[in-house]
Amino acid sequence: MNQQSIAQSLFSVTAASRQYDEAIEHKINQKTKPLGALGLLESLAMQIARVQYSRESELSNTLLNRTESAGTESSLNATHLPLYINKPTMLVFAADHGIAAYGVSIAPSEVTTQMVHNFIHGGAAINVFCRQVGFAIEVIDCGILQPLATDSGVVNQRLGAGTQAMHLQPAMSLTQVRQGFEFAKRLVKRHVDNGTSIIALGEMGIGNTSAAAALMAAVLNLDVDLCVGRGTGIDDATLTKKVTLINQAIDLHRNEFTSIESILAHLGGFEIVQMTGAILAAAEQKILVVIDGFIATAAALVALKLAPHSHDYLVFAHQSHEQGHQLMLQALQATPLLSLGLRLGEGTGAALALPLIQGAVNFYNQMASFDDAGVNNVV
C-alpha cells in the first residue's frame, strides 16, 4: 500500500489562508498594549483568526458558487469579523492494548473499562475540568476489552477488543486503520454540523504510553530510551521491561514500515488511530483541535506526517511530565500553552487550556484599540 493512500482517499487538508494575516496582525498590534505584551495569547489569536477567516471565506465562496452571483466578489473584512468559540467539545477516545498484558503498566487493562465508567458517571478529573471550563464531553469506545451496554451513553466505534501485542504481531490491520479514520471523520462531521467550532482530544487506555512511545521512536527514528517514560508512575524494573518490549516490537516490524500508516498499524492503538483521524477530519473542516498530552501528541505526529497542513489547526495545550512529550513537541515545532507537570491524560491539559483560548478570542474581540480609547500609541 502506497504511503498516505488511506488518508489521501478520505481527507483533503489544505492550509489555512494567509491572505488576512496583515489585517489580523494590525488589529492585534493596535490594541491598547505594548507590541507583543500578551505573549502567546497574541500568536494564539492570530492562529484562531487565520483558521476562522479561512473557514468563513471558504464557506462564502461555496455559497457564491452555488448562487452564481454575477459580478459579486467573495471577501472578508478581517478587522470587523469577531472570533468565536461555539460548543467546545472534548472527545475522549478509549481503547485497550495487547502489550498491557506483559507488564508495562502499573494497572491491568480492566482499569480502562473502570475509568470509562467513571467518565460516564462524571467522577474523573476530565469531567471536573470540563464542567469547570465549559467543555461538553463525549466518550468514544474505540476498542476496550469488553463492549459496554448500548444505553451507556458512550459512542460505539469499536475496532476490536483491544489491539494485538505489538511486540509479537502487528497491533492491527490496515483495514482497521481505515475503519478508524472513517469513524473519526463521521464523528467530527457530526459535531461540526451541530455547530462545534473547536474540539479537544483526550484518551484512556492502559498501555497506551507504550504505543505512543513506539510510534514516536519509529516515525522520528529515535532511540526508544529517549521516547519512553514512566507513564502513570512505573518503577525501574517495569521501565526496563517497557523499553525492551518496545524495542522488540520495532525490530520485529521494521521491514514492514513502508508508510506512516503501516507504522500506525503495527505499533499504534485504536484510540490513537481515531485521534489521528479526528485531527485530519477537523483540519479538513477548518476547525481548531486542542491537543492534550503525550498520547494525543503522538496522534498529531502521525497526522502531520500524513497531512502537514494540519499543523495550522492544532493548539498544543501543555507539556507533560513525560520526557518523550517534550522531545515530540520540539520535533513538531509546537509551543504548548501550559507546563504543569501533568501525566494523567484523559484530555485534562486540553480542558485546562480552554480559558486561555477564550482569553485570546476575547482580547481580540473586545479590547480597545489606541484610536478607540483615545490613547497615544507610543510603541
Residues with a known catalytic role: 346
Say how far apart CA 109 and CA 210 lie, in whole Å: 13
Report DSSP state, residue 369: B
Which candidate, 225, 153, 197, 247, places its Cα nearest to that of 56? Answer: 197
Say how far apart CA 133 and CA 13 lie, in whole Å: 30
Burial 310-346 (b: 16+ CB within 10 A, else e): bbbbbbbbbbbbbbbbbebbeebebebbbeeebbbbb
Non-local CB neighbours of 308 within 8 Å, separated by 6+ positions:
none
User: Is the backbone of residue 333 left (phi > 0), alpha (psi -120 to 50) or beta?
Assistant: left
- For CA atoms 189, 196, 76, 68, give the dihedral sign: positive
Q: Which residue has the cell 505512543?
A: 212
